């Protein structure tokens, strides 16, 4: 029979084998990564929770003192290409994020060159490489665990949100769009006219295309459920396009898994097209129905 070990030795052995057994991570690490028109934005941060503390700002986070929006190591943000953050030009690279909340007026959102700082560093915002003023907003939704998000993405930018408790900071992100919307005039003129397309064997959806000489773009309207949706054809190669949509006067999104290939050219004008996905599977067939 094996001798019994004292309880204290057993407990000590378990803790030495599983050192994390007695540890509670109060603020879990999170990684937010978003690509916008080829520019990669990445946020690395830990997520503290409110845990009944009230008020957050002015008490847990002091007025007029720099604070990293997170916990443990300082929150970091990186850009793979130059951007504009809240209207301020920011070079590509990685930065630690620090915020100086104000009892009244705008808060200061700063990017510091040192990404190795701990959350207790509290560097003055005057030492930041970039500082953006941002007005805090009260929100009806209560966010228990601090959250960064990018809820609105378009081809030229996005909105960066920071939410904690009932406070939100919203910063506009702008990037240089990598989309080339220009179409050679001869090719664009040849694609003008009325089209319809749909799944093989199904009724077609109307698509009308026209060439805009001033913009050198192939624009149009795609009729869906009786509504004419403005679109732009994004040229990928000769005779091959993707479909883009506008938000206001900007291209808001592109269906980047559809490829329109115009076919059956007669007298310099295509009479049909196929829409294939990224695996080259046929999704839709289109045909010309008028000029």
Q: For residues 250 and 232, give the distance between their C-alpha atoms in angstroms, rounded to a whole number.
A: 10
- Please, which pLDDT band fits residue 27 given cuts at 50, 70 and 90? confident
Q: What is the DSSP string of 37-91?
A: TTEEEEEEEEE-B-TT-S-TBTTTB-TTS-B-SSSSBPPEEEESS-EEETTEEE-
Give the model's pLDDT for residue 249. Answer: 65
Residue 3 has pLDDT above 50, yes or no: no
Give the model confidence (pLDDT) of 179-221 as tens digits.
788 999 999 999 999 999 999 888 889 999 999 999 999 999 9
Q: For residues 272 and 262, give the distance between their C-alpha atoms in angstroms, rounded to a whole number.
A: 6
Give the model confidence (pLDDT) of 45-85 as tens digits.
999 999 999 899 999 999 999 999 999 999 999 999 999 99
CATH class of 185-290: mainly beta
Average pLDDT over residues 145-170: 93
Share of the chain above pLDDT 90, in %: 75
Give the model confidence (pLDDT) of 219-277 as tens digits.
999 998 888 999 999 999 999 999 988 766 667 678 888 999 999 999 999 999 999 99
- What's the predicted TM-score (pTM) here? 0.63
Q: Give the other-Cβ count within 10 Å of 119's Cβ.
A: 20
99 vs 24, which has greater pLDDT? 99
Give the model's pLDDT for residue 256. Answer: 81
Can you tell me which residue has the tokens 């059956």?
Answer: 264
Sort residue 264 into left (φ over 0), alpha (ψ -120 to 50) or beta: left
Give the model confidence (pLDDT) of 108-140 as tens digits.
999 999 999 999 999 999 999 999 999 999 999
Residue 24 has pLDDT above 90, yes or no: no
Residue 8 has pLDDT above 50, yes or no: no
Average pLDDT over residues 88-92: 97
Give the model's pLDDT for residue 77. Answer: 98
Phi, psi angles (nearest 5°) of residue 14 = -65, -40
Q: Which sequence spans correspond to the domains of the chain?
A: 26-175, 185-290
Lowest-confidence region among 7-21, 156-170, 237-251: 7-21
């Amino acid at each position: 029979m094996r001798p019994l070990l004292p309880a204290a030795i057993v407990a000590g052995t378990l803790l030495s084998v599983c050192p994390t057994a007695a540890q509670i991570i109060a603020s879990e690490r999170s990684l937010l990564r978003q690509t916008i028109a080829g520019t990669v934005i990445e946020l690395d941060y830990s997520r503290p929770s409110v845990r009944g503390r009230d008020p957050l700002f002015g008490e847990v986070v002091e007025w007029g003192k720099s604070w990293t929006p997170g916990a443990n190591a300082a929150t970091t943000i990186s850009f793979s290409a130059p951007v504009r953050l809240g209207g301020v030009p920011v070079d590509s690279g990685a930065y630690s994020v620090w915020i100086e909340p104000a009892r009244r007026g705008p808060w200061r959102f700063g990017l510091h060159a040192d990404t190795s700082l701990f959350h207790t560093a509290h560097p003055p915002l005057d030492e930041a490489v970039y500082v953006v003023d941002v007005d805090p907003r009260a929100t009806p939704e209560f966010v228990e665990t601090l959250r960064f998000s990018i809820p609105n993405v378009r081809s030229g930018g996005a909105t960066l949100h920071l939410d904690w408790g009932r406070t939100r900071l919203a910063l506009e992100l702008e990037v240089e769009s990598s989309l080339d919307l220009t179409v050679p005039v001869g090719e664009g003129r040849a694609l003008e006219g009325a089209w319809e397309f749909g799944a093989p064997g199904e009724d077609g959806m109307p698509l009308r295309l026209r060439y805009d000489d001033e913009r050198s773009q192939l624009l149009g309207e795609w009729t869906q459920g009786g509504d004419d949706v403005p679109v732009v054809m994004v040229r990928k190669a000769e005779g091959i396009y993707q479909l883009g949509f506008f938000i206001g006067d900007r291209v808001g999104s592109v269906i980047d898994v559809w490829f329109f290939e115009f076919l059956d050219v007669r007298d310099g004008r295509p009479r049909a097209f196929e829409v294939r996905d990224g695996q080259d599977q046929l999704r839709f067939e289109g045909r010309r129905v008028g000029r």
